[in-house]
Amino acid sequence: MSSNNPSWEVIWVTGASSGIGRALSVELARVKDCRLILSGRDHERLESLKNEIGQDRACIYAFELTGDAAMEEHVQSVQRLWGRIDRVVLSAGVSQRSFVLDTDFSVYQKIFDINFFSNVRLAKALLPLFLEQGRGAFHVVSSVVGKFGTPWRSAYSASKHALHGFFDSLRAEVYNKNIKVQIICPGFVNTQISYNALNEHGEKTGVLDKAQAHGLSAEAFAMQMVRKMFSTKQEVFIGGGKERFGLFLKRFFPEFFASFVARSKVR
Ligand SMILES: NC(=O)c1ccc[n+]([C@@H]2O[C@H](COP(=O)([O-])OP(=O)(O)OC[C@H]3O[C@@H](n4cnc5c(N)ncnc54)[C@H](OP(=O)(O)O)[C@@H]3O)[C@@H](O)[C@H]2O)c1
């Protein structure tokens, strides 16, 4: 299935089986001349997404991000599907709903493994290819809680903050190498994220939070994200007024922000 046709871009999306990654893949196929590689773990959902997008526009590469296989092998396999990789969207991730006091230490390790270390491993495995091609783009899905912490999210927020440190450093290292590093910070988006979020013992909560249910639809989010992906912005926020207000307060009125976030309904 490989091709050297340069007219379209090859975009690899992790977390494509659900929520933001899924909606983004549909939107990219709708508005951009691209070929997609859809990653996640749930093969059935990836297959249904591929059918929706079109067999000639998308390939599936299902894998466990925290698995034992070398990430270099995954990158080589993905590259073979369409002959190259022009962009990667790192959307796979897992959230948390538990207080610090109650949370097992293993939950911190698990959330960092998925949200941070797997993305570091993937970026390190993909970077040599981008350098060899002389172009490439990393689109990293962080969160508003990558910019500030809230109750119930200590592990999740810390893992997203860590992404900013790593990818900001990477951007500085590849600044003049035609490699883009963009971080996207979503506010509340109505997906399965809270349902799949881990509790204090690392089990799925299985609950759709009110804040999530009232968030942006994944489709509306994806429309905005596709526009930003092809802009020159290095960090973008996409979300509602309350989350935007939080970012503003944290930056300009940090003392007031502390009492605001302590009272905020984040579930
Ligand atoms: N929704 C929000 O309000 C919100 C807000 C801020 C940031 N975000 C971020 O947006 C990204 C997407 O979240 P979402 O809302 O779309 O949540 P979601 O509906 O729960 O989707 C999560 C995706 O991540 C994949 N994934 C999770 N663990 C994985 C693993 N170990 N290996 C491979 N794939 C794995 C899942 O694949 P399978 O289902 O196939 O296992 C699924 O495709 C996440 O990084 C999240 O932190 C979301």
Q: In whole numbers, what is the pLDDT of the chain averaged over residues? A: 96
Looking at ligand 1, which atom is closest to the CA of residue 196? 20
Residue 118 lies in a domain: yes
List pLDDT tens digits, range 139-184.
Answer: 999 999 999 999 999 999 999 999 999 999 999 999 999 999 999 9
Contacts with 42 (C-beta within 8 Å, 6 or more apart), sequence order: 17, 18, 62
Please report the pLDDT score of residue 24 as a whole number: 98
Does residue 122 lie in a domain region? Answer: yes
pTM for the structure as a whole: 0.97
Helix (H) / strand (E) element for 116: namely none
In the chain, which residue ranges form alpha helices assigned H by DSSP? 19-31, 43-53, 71-82, 105-112, 118-133, 154-173, 193-196, 210-213, 218-229, 241-252, 254-263
The reply to whether 61 belongs to the active site is no
Check pLDDT > 70 for residue 3: no
- For residue 256, being part of any structural domain is answered with no
Whether residue 250 lies inside any domain: the answer is no
pLDDT band (50, 70, 90) for residue 226: very high
Residues having CB within 6 Å of any atom of ligand 1: 15, 17-21, 40-42, 64-66, 91-95, 114, 141, 143, 186, 188-189, 191-193, 196, 212, 215
185 vs 165: CA distance, rounded Å: 14
Percent of the chain with pLDDT over 70: 98
Q: Which of 61, 108, 156, 175 is catalytic?
A: 156
Residue 1 has pLDDT above 50, yes or no: no
Residue 1 lies inside a defined structural domain of this protein: no
Identify which of 168, 147, 163, 225 has the alpha carbon closest to the alpha carbon of residue 191: 225
Residue 245 has pLDDT above 80, yes or no: yes
Into how many domains does the chain fold?
1
Does residue 80 lie in a domain region?
yes
In a domain, 57, yes or no: yes
Domain that holds residue 49: 9-242
Index of the ligand 1 atom closest to the CA of residue 65: 32
The yes-or-no verdict on residue 10 having pLDDT over 50 is yes
Domain assignment of residue 157, yes or no: yes
Nearest to 198 by CA among 94, 44, 120: 94
In this structure, what CATH number is given to the domain that contains residue 34? 3.40.50.720
